[in-house]
Amino acid sequence: MKALLIVAHGSRREASNEEVRALTRDLAKAAGDAFDHVDCAFLELADPSIPDGIQHCIDAGADQVVVVPYFLSAGRHVTEDIPAQVALKQAEHPDVDIRIAAYIGSAPGIADLLLDTARPTWRA
């Protein structure tokens, strides 16, 4: 069973965390059969933490977890902090295949998405 875990930074502004939770619900719908469980977690300032988020996936029955960093650039959070927290759970659950995907800012489709975002402003 395969789970997808979006990891966002987390914010003191609860509405920003809610945006991530809403996106997670959209993603669960969009995922179809690709992932059996879709969840989110936060690096800091909001719940659940990354280890707790991974645990939720495992509790839901996942033996494969893909962690997708919801970050625009490959700063320290992406290169060090997220891998360090994921490593804790990898050590605790060697039977579960936990992998970190590319961060969203590195997705080849991001330029097209920016264009799609800009275009309606001229139709308005």
Query: Cβ distance 50 to 16 under 8 Å?
Result: no
101 sits near a copy of itself (criterion: CB under 8 A): yes
Shortest distance (Å) from residue 79 CB to a copy of itself: 10
Catalytic residue among 9, 37, 77, 93: 9
Residue among 43, 46, 50, 100 that touches a copy of itself (CB under 8 A) = 100
- Give dist(CA 69, CA 59) in Å, integer: 21
Shortest distance (Å) from residue 37 CB to a copy of itself: 13
- Give dist(CA 64, CA 84) in Å, integer: 18
Residue 100, SS3 per DSSP: strand
Closest CA to 7 of 31, 44, 41: 41
DSSP 8-class letter at 106: G
9 tagged catalytic:
yes
Question: Annotated active-site positions, please?
Answer: 9
Give the binding site for a copy of itself (CB under 8 A). 2, 4, 6, 8, 11, 13, 15-16, 19-20, 23, 26-27, 29-31, 34-35, 64, 66, 68, 70-76, 99-107, 109-122, 124
